[in-house]
Structure 1
């Protein structure tokens, strides 16, 4: 799979994971904390950006940036839900058909 195709699939997966986690939160709580799945989605959102970088050291400063990114995403999620979070991640307004 080409890197561009993988990046596109990752972006689609991020949106799907966030929306489905929100829509199925009650059912998921019995098996996994939905916040954990949102964290996975935030990591997936960061991954395509990191694919373009040279190999990097995962020092404390770098990890602090990723943690702060996840915190910002969680703040947006807590205030406005999954669609607003996806919009923030994608940098444009999105809508979701259920």
Structure 2
């Protein structure tokens, strides 16, 4: 799969995971913690950005940046929901037609 296609697939998948987590939170029940699914979506959103970098050594400073990014995402999520979080992650306005 080409990088461009992979990046687009990851972008769409991250959005789908976040939105479905929010819209179906009640149906998840105790089976899955929605925070875990949000974390997966944040990782999916960050992955394409890391593809363009040189190999990365995961030292404490780098991991702290990832943790801070996840915290920022969850703060936006708590305040404004999944659509705002997706918009923040990808730096563009996102709308969802239901």
What TM-score bracket applies, with the shorter chain setting the length? over 0.9
Unmatched runs of 5 consecutive residues or more in structure 1: none
Aligned length: 98
Partner of 2:55: 55
Q: CA deviation at 1:62?
A: 0.2
2: distance between equivalents of 1:8 and 1:48?
A: 9
2: distance between equivalents of 1:35 and 1:2?
A: 30
Higher RCO (CA-CA < 8 Å; seq separation 6+): 2
* 4+ residue runs over 2 A deviation: none
- Counterparts of 1:11-22 in structure 2, within 5 Å, are 11-22=11-22
2: distance between equivalents of 1:21 and 1:82?
A: 9
1:5 and 2:13 matched = no
Q: CA deviation at 1:34?
A: 0.4
2: distance between equivalents of 1:29 and 1:73?
A: 22
Q: CA deviation at 1:29?
A: 2.8
Q: CA deviation at 1:94?
A: 1.0
* TM-score relative to the length of structure 1: 0.97
2: distance between equivalents of 1:29 and 1:67?
A: 26
CA RMSD of aligned residues (A): 0.7
* TM-score relative to the length of structure 2: 0.97
